[in-house]
Amino acid sequence: MIKKIFICALLCCSFLTAQADEGMWLPSLIGSRIKDMRSKGFKLTAEDIYSVNKASLKDAVVQFGGGCTGEFLSGEGLLLTNHHCGYGSIQRLSSVEHDYLTYGYWAMSKAEELPVPGLTVSLLVKMEDVTDRLAKGEKAEDIIAEAKKGEGYRASIEQMYYGNQQFLFVYQTYRDVRLVGTPPSSIGKFGGDTDNWVWPRHTGDFSIFRVYADADNNPAEYSKDNKPYQPKRHFTVSTKGVDEGDFTMIYGFPGNTQEYVISDAVDYVANVSDPMKIALRTQRLDIISAAQAESAEVRIAYAAVHANIANAWKKWQGEVLGLNRLRTAEKKRAYEADFASWAASKPEYANLLDEMHKAYEAVIPGYYMRELFTESVATINAYSYARSLYNAVLAAEKEGKTYDVEKAHQNFLKSYNQGIDQAIARRMVDEFCQRVAPESMPADLKAQIAYYGGAEKYVDAMFRSSRLLGTDPITASDVKGDALVNFVRIFNNIANDTRNYAYRNLSNVPQVEQWYRTYMRALREWDKNRAFYPDANFTLRVAYGQVAGYEYADAEYHHPVSTIDGIMAKDDPNVYDYNIPQVLRDIYAAKDYGRWGQQIYGKKSVPVCFLATNHTSGGNSGSPVINGKGELIGINFDRTWRSTMSDMEFDPTICRNISVDIRYVLFVIDRIGGASYLFNEMTLK
């Protein structure tokens, strides 16, 4: 009985109402939250946040590169985002001779800005609830086609509340984006994987780009004749700083949350999926890190790869820790029991949970197989290359054409590191074999491993015999009979299944998801005191909260602002993650902070990062952090490690997002980059 009462108490804290600062709200519907926002210090109106008819804050926010957020700093298309969001672009522009990752880059005029091929930014034109239009018989494809009319426009209809509401999103995509400035990685990535997802943080995680357009301010391919894009709105930059309790708002594109899933999904994430992915990524990271330590060229070539692997790897570790600490699965089961009691007398809902449990049981084996394959075999570069080459040959032959296999072959070899890839392949194939269910083990793979006497010996033999990895010219016939292509064929069924059913989460598998539309409708009917917000799905959202520290452990309070003093405390020339530029050491030694020096915790310093209670997720990287007046005070880039479970359960006592203080950004631009001329086009206040 005591246990039951305790669980009920937990439920009251976690599920019955949206907690303070919990939620990722649709901007077009933000009017319903304005009263609460004002109580925390917001001074503007709902129309200031989102408007179709006039310039609003939404016009200053962009989707950067498809997976991050960025914000305009000037009327000349100057764009701010995270260093880690621009990392891949900076890497592509870098070489051993021009190592912008290590040393940074600062254009001293628009003529020196570096075009980034393939990089795009997208601006939201409008969002519209089209639920009723679809219910009345309009076709989604017709609505989308009409919305796409215009230069550079794209549109999609996205599901909210598992399809109970459907919104049209219309974007305009700009394709000429150029690098303006980036700090050295020793600032932009300070702390590296060691500090990732933890507090205190001292990372200057920012980079600066500029968006260009044609003479009419419309999207255009790169041209020297293009002009800086003129946004409808850009952010005023506040240099006044932050204090604990100050209002904060984040405007961005969070990618993926699962706030309303049942206990089956939580159990799968915490006990099956995350542990498997953590283990496989640990092995890949170990191999890459060892190679990077031996070669500067490898370090640069694999920098973005390593960062991408490590980011989710560490996040999942925190997620497992948080879900177990909060006993999320247990609380979900208690919540479901209460729901089932209410639903028992309602024929449309009475058996709903039973059907959902059965659906999960049916799809988990197949979903696990897709995740296992994606995290193991699919990460082998040689596998991806051979699969792509083989499919291209078959497609060309089907059309009566000839595919230039030798050109593709030589292009692949230019950047291929066989030593690293083969080492990864040996481990990943072996791990796949150990972790796959016996009944799902491909028969041909089992036979090959038996023939060669083990998975790693099989991989070594395959890499030795493959002509696709050699320097001699190859033909379409060579491709079809190659050992790597035979390896590809072994996994064809699994790969095709993975490609065709690449769902965001387990709960998005159709056999499961079909029940969630009814479940969400039932929850909103039953749990009337709960403030429901739609799960994140890379559409534009507003999250708001306050600057706040937190109690990390008993008698251990973490203050919400970090300073340059913390950088110096970590500084170590012998540790890559903590080896800062000498100029920063010199500035600190002289306490020569200029206008950027502040009184913080009773002494003069420079602010670096700060904590707030905003509900964020992947995709919020680079999001503007805004004060109550709508001014830019920081750039969101991370969560604390114990916050990563907020994709499934938000805990207001400990969930904190981490942002780089805009004053540190300005300090680095000025004192490290020597690019203070950029301030001339900003609105500083």
Task: Based on the residue annotation, tell me whether 84 is a catalytic residue of this protein.
Answer: yes
What sign has the CA pseudo-torsion 547, 550, 555, 559? negative
Let me know if 272 is exposed, middle or buried by CB neighbors in 10 A (0-12, 13-18, 19+). middle
What number of other Cβ atoms are within 10 A of residue 148's Cβ?
A: 14
> DSSP assignment, residue 470?
S
**Gyration radius of the chain over CA positions:** 26
Question: Using an 8 Å Cβ cutoff, are 621 and 579 in contact?
Answer: no
The span from the first CA to the last CA of the chain, in angstroms, equals 58
Which stretches of 54-172 are DSSP H helices? 83-93, 100-103, 131-135, 140-147
Angstrom distance (rounded) from CA 209 to CA 220: 16
Q: Which of 84, 234, 306, 409 is catalytic?
A: 84
Task: Based on the residue annotation, tell me whether 205 is a catalytic residue of this protein.
Answer: yes
**Structural element, H or E, at residue 510:** helix 510-526
Q: Which of 51, 56, 74, 621 is catalytic?
A: 621
Closest-CA residue to 666 (of 181, 31, 281, 293):
181
Give SS3 for 24.
coil
Q: What is the dihedral of CA 468, 471, 475, 481, to 10 degrees?
A: -30
Task: Based on the residue annotation, tell me whether 605 is a catalytic residue of this protein.
Answer: no
What sign has the CA pseudo-torsion 554, 557, 558, 563? negative
Give SS3 for 202.
coil
Between the alpha carbon of residue 132 and those of residues 16, 135, 136, 154, 277, the distances in Å are 29, 5, 6, 22, 41
Q: Which amino acid is at 152?
A: G
3-state helix/strand/coil string of 161-179:
HHHCEEEEEEEEEECEEEE
Whether omega for the bond prior to residue 115 falls within 30 degrees of 0, making it cis, is no
Both tokens assigned to 130: 């089209």
What number of other Cβ atoms are within 10 A of residue 344's Cβ?
A: 11
The residue behind tokens 């700060």 is 610
Q: Which of 21, 48, 205, 651 is catalytic?
A: 205
Angstrom distance (rounded) from CA 81 to CA 463: 41
Q: Which amino acid is at 172?
A: Q
Catalytic center residues: 84, 205, 621
